[in-house]
A and B are shown apart, each in its own frame.
Chain A
């Protein structure tokens, strides 16, 4: 319920939340578009030394997904590497502790595969939770997670979404370079 609801405070809160979500969706979409054209001139997220470093990571992630049998997946960087700070505390990326890379894997097929393997879906069936190492093992993504973590020098976490639109609408995002 938006404007005109019975409780003014509740309506304001809801409207505020919708506005925030819309803002995040637009930001995510713009950032994704910026990154979609490749590394040249694109935003370099936190944790990468250069656009080339980011591009190499993107290529390796995409190749690793193909090798694992998931060729139609769009990998999208989310979390504090994109925003520069912790969503909870506001603490800056890598200050006082190591910050991870959080990567959304957008694919209806992969989401369906996860569900068929008993990995629970959330948010009305549009995504999984953060994949545990047990989940990575059953999906055959454990080697890719290990390889990317070693390459990046920080842990890489995955979450599966049914579509890139849902993922970028959920949080600030950068599509990994092709």
Chain B
């Protein structure tokens, strides 16, 4: 079975605005977590080892430069990990607005 890892970015939303936007678009409820490596507070839906969504600031914890260096113009990142329904999710996010698809990789 192939799974897909997609990365979306938001240019003009703060982390909390992006959370509300993504929750409305995807029909999910994110949980707050804290991690130094993830840049402090971030949000997750789902669990490791299965499909999960991670919403975080595009900020490296130590050098404070964008963690996704190829997408430095995006302040917030939304990772759609290990999904088998990439197209449906893309449609939902596109309809909700606010995010752009930055990367799409199939494994």
Interface residues of A (CB under 8 A from B): 78-80, 86-89, 91, 96-100, 102, 120, 122-123, 129-130, 132-134, 137-138, 142-143, 145-146, 149-150, 155-159, 170-171
28 examples of A-B residue contacts, CB within 8 angstroms: A78-B36, A80-B35, A86-B34, A86-B36, A88-B40, A91-B34, A97-B31, A98-B34, A99-B33, A100-B35, A100-B38, A102-B37, A120-B69, A122-B60, A132-B7, A132-B79, A133-B5, A133-B52, A134-B7, A134-B79, A134-B81, A146-B48, A149-B47, A155-B35, A156-B48, A157-B35, A157-B37, A171-B36
Least CB distance from A106 to B in Å reads: 14
Interface residues of B (CB under 8 A from A): 5, 7, 31-41, 44, 47-49, 52, 54, 60-63, 65, 67, 69, 79, 81-82, 105, 107
Q: A155 contacts B34, CB within 8 Å?
A: no
Residues of B within 8 A of A158 (CB): 37
Q: A89 contacts B40, CB within 8 Å?
A: yes
Q: B33 contacts A134, CB within 8 Å?
A: no
Residues of B within 8 A of A150 (CB): 48-49
Alpha-carbon distance A97/B30, docked complex (angstroms) = 12
Alpha-carbon distance A159/B35, docked complex (angstroms) = 12
Least CB distance from A113 to B in Å reads: 17
Alpha-carbon distance A155/B38, docked complex (angstroms) = 11
